[in-house]
């Protein structure tokens, strides 16, 4: 038995691959373009594992995807592949349109042709699971109820608009062609192998380097935080037992403001890696100009996946954030290897102080 995973060298995808092999002997064919956020070093422990078949390529390459489907005959496709950073989508939206919309369309067409030709038993068992985001729902006011699967789509950034479009394509391929799809919309992930342009790893890395800790606007933007390994277990559960054509919201039930996250990370670093000259890492916090269209609050209502599939997150934010900081402290080589000159220049350009 085999599954095809797209984007399996990125942050969430690589955690999914590693966690999959911790609980399953089933082969994964891992297709990843290895853009700036894809990193084979995340999967170094699988270098000699025959269950992991890595292929460098684009999910929009129809000839390649067709060939992989025919050769490996997967029972499922799990689509993580996406451009996913809001800031980058604001500065350069075209890549997000190409990968998240055009790429998903081409992948769906390849999968539809493959699925249509399967024998009846394999055809009925096949699944296409599309991994999406809570950002497609837009922004919540402080007292609004969390996003449920019934919320209308109101994306506010090029990134979230491109993901919303991909979600609609997946839905349409199910309702028009009968493709057996599942969609998951998750909240903010954090944990090991997170690319250090995102909030939590950026704060850890910059704090240890003695650099400013950039916080957009007033830092009161609220997000629901989900430990990445909990997200992976939820995806496995949806793939195993989710109802065809349904959407499942995946959240950690951990709403916190960005500035509170920064303070917590600084506090853990003060405890585990005190500054040589004394003082707190909080002294490095610098408020910077807010980004355009910055959504104020996201929150996920994860009752559907709990009620239907019995899934609940294992980690609280308190346990997950300590595991995350510990991982970055224990893996300085990974951090140093990923922080190329191009990345450093991008961060400097993005986080000019106000």
Residue 347's pLDDT is what? 57
Q: Is 198 within the bounds of a domain?
A: no
Indicate if the pLDDT at residue 75 is higher than 60.
yes
Q: Is 27 within the bounds of a domain?
A: yes
For the chain, how many structural domains are there in total? 1
Indicate if the pLDDT at residue 339 is higher than 90.
no
Indicate if the pLDDT at residue 215 is higher than 60.
yes
Could you give the 3-state DSSP secondary structure of residue 77? Answer: strand
Q: Is 34 within the bounds of a domain?
A: yes
Q: Is 105 within the bounds of a domain?
A: yes
Indicate if the pLDDT at residue 346 is higher than 90.
no
Residue 354's pLDDT is what? 40
Q: Is 116 within the bounds of a domain?
A: yes
* 344 confidence band (pLDDT: 50, 70, 90): low
pLDDT digits (tens, 9 = 90+) for 121-142: 999 999 999 999 999 999 999 9
* 202 confidence band (pLDDT: 50, 70, 90): very high
Residue 47's pLDDT is what? 92
User: Which residues are annotated as catalytic?
Assistant: 134-135, 159
Indicate if the pLDDT at residue 86 is higher than 90.
no
Average pLDDT over residues 176-195: 97
Could you give the 3-state DSSP secondary structure of residue 222? Answer: strand
180, 182, 179: which is closest to 79 by C-alpha? 182
Q: Is 152 within the bounds of a domain?
A: yes
Report how far residue 257's alpha carbon sits from residue 251's, in angstroms, rounded to the nearest whole number: 16
* 109 confidence band (pLDDT: 50, 70, 90): very high
* 167 confidence band (pLDDT: 50, 70, 90): very high
Tell me the backbone φ, ψ of residue 83, rounded to 5 degrees: -80, 130
- Cβ neighbourhood burial of 59 (10 Å; 0-12, 13-18, 19+): buried
Q: Is 186 within the bounds of a domain?
A: yes
Tell me the backbone φ, ψ of residue 187, rounded to 5 degrees: -90, -175
Find the CATH number of the domain harbouring 117.
3.40.50.720
Tell me the backbone φ, ψ of residue 202, rounded to 5 degrees: -60, -40
Q: Is 339 within the bounds of a domain?
A: no
pTM of the model: 0.94
What range defines the domain where residue 135 resides?
A: 2-190+225-254+294-315
Q: In what order do the strands lie in the sheet with 76-79?
A: 52-56, 27-32, 2-6, 76-79, 127-133, 181-186, 247-250
């Amino acid at each position: 038995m085999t599954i095809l995973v797209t984007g399996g060298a990125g942050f969430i995808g690589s955690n999914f691959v590693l966690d999959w092999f911790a609980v399953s002997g089933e082969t994964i064919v891992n297709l990843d373009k290895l853009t700036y956020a894809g990193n084979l070093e995340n999967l170094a422990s699988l270098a000699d594992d025959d269950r992991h078949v890595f292929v460098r390529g684009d999910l929009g390459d129809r000839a390649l995807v067709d060939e992989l489907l025919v050769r490996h005959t997967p029972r499922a496709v799990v689509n993580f592949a996406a451009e996913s950073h809001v800031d980058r989508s604001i500065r350069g939206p075209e890549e997000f349109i190409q990968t998240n919309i055009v790429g998903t369309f081409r992948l769906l067409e390849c999968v539809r042709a493959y699925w249509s030709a399967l024998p009846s038993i394999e055809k009925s068992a096949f699944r296409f699971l599309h991994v999406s985001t809570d950002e497609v729902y837009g922004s919540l006011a402080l007292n609004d109820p969390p996003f449920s699967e019934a919320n209308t789509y109101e994306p506010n950034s090029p990134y979230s608009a491109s993901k919303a479009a991909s979600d609609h394509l997946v839905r349409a391929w199910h309702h028009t062609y009968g493709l057996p799809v599942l969609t998951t919309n998750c909240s903010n992930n954090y944990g090991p192998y997170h690319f250090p342009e995102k909030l939590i790893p950026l704060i850890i890395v910059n704090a240890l380097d003695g650099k400013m800790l950039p916080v957009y606007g007033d830092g009161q933007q609220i997000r629901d935080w989900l430990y990445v390994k909990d997200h992976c277990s939820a995806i496995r559960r949806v793939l195993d037992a989710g109802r065809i054509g349904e959407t499942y919201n995946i959240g950690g039930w951990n709403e916190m403001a960005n500035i509170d996250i920064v303070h917590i990370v600084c506090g853990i670093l003060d405890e585990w890696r005190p500054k040589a000259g004394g003082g707190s890492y909080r002294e490095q916090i610098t408020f910077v100009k807010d980004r355009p269209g910055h959504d104020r609050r996201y929150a996920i209502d994860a009752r559907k996946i709990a009620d239907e599939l019995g899934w609940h997150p294992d980690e609280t934010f308190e346990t997950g954030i300590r595991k995350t900081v510990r991982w970055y402290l224990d893996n300085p080589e990974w951090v140093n290897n990923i922080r190329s000159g191009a990345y450093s220049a991008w961060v400097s350009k993005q986080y000019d102080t106000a």
